[in-house]
Amino acid sequence: MMPEIQLQSDLLEYIIRHQFSPGDRLPTINELQAPEHLGISISKVREQLEVARMLGIVEVRSKTGMRMKAYSFTPAVRLSLFLALALDPHNFELFSELRNHVEAAFWNEACKVLEEEDKAVMRACVESARAKLNGDHHSGHIRIPNEEHRTFHLTVFKRLANPFVMGILEAYWEAYNAFELNRYSDYAYLQEVWTYHERILDAICAGEYDLAREIFIEHTRLLHHQPRMQTMGQSVAVPAEDELIEGAV
């Protein structure tokens, strides 16, 4: 028997009580305020609906109305994380540490359930990143492999049946992008990052998950040498302009 949990939201409790599934259409706002549904004012329905929307539980569209979405931990984590970053940017370093520990803790479990198609995606990320970084440096044709970086890491954990792990990791990468850590990078730093990624993938493909985990942990320390992170911490001088690459996927 499921314990009774107080969600402090008439709408969320109504959703749970009626066992709505992803894709199910919810009653309209006018219908929800009726006594046979929620029995609360339209203003309260709208307030609670907005909370549900921000939590990623429902989607609201003008033509199709309100529908249930599959559960995701990401929206709640992202909202709280972005508030924390707005209060103090250095909270990114704390969340980054959490992300590192989560990935390390679930590393072997995640690697064991990877399929060949996942490894192919990761290999394509490495090859695409190398192609972008090996462009003509002097003419400015080098591009930073932003999406490849995110995709490589998230692919490692995509087969885990754990929405909470993915929620933390997806929120991390959104914060990473928000901080523009994917925008200004030292060229040598980027090359070293992708050398690590290639080594990680080679170890995974060889079934050497412990080795891959060790390389991953070692590579996470590179973030502290990322130019943007150094500027945030004011620990070292920002690299010279000609040593930085600005770009986007």
Are 170 and 154 contacting, i.e. CB atoms less than 8 angstroms apart? yes
Regarding pTM above 0.75, the answer is: yes
Give 221's pLDDT tier (boundaries 50, 70, 90).
Answer: confident
Give 9's pLDDT tier (boundaries 50, 70, 90).
Answer: confident
In angstroms, the CA 95 to CA 63 distance is 38
Q: Which CATH code is given to the segment(s) 10-68?
A: 1.10.10.10
Give 244's pLDDT tier (boundaries 50, 70, 90).
Answer: very low
Tell whether the torsion through CA atoms of 195, 198, 200 and 206 is positive or negative: negative
Nearest to 218 by CA among 205, 232, 229, 203: 203
Q: Where exactly are the structural domains of the chain? A: 10-68, 74-246
Over the stretch 19-49, which tens digit does the pLDDT of each residue have? 999 999 999 888 888 888 888 888 998 999 9
In angstroms, the CA 200 to CA 14 distance is 46
Query: What pLDDT is attached to residue 74?
Result: 96
Does the fold of domain 74-246 match that of domain 10-68?
no
In angstroms, the CA 148 to CA 127 distance is 9
Q: Which two tokens mark 24? A: 């199910």
The CATH architecture one would assign to domain 74-246 is Up-down Bundle (1.20)
Other CB atoms within a 10 A radius of the CB of residue 249 amount to 13
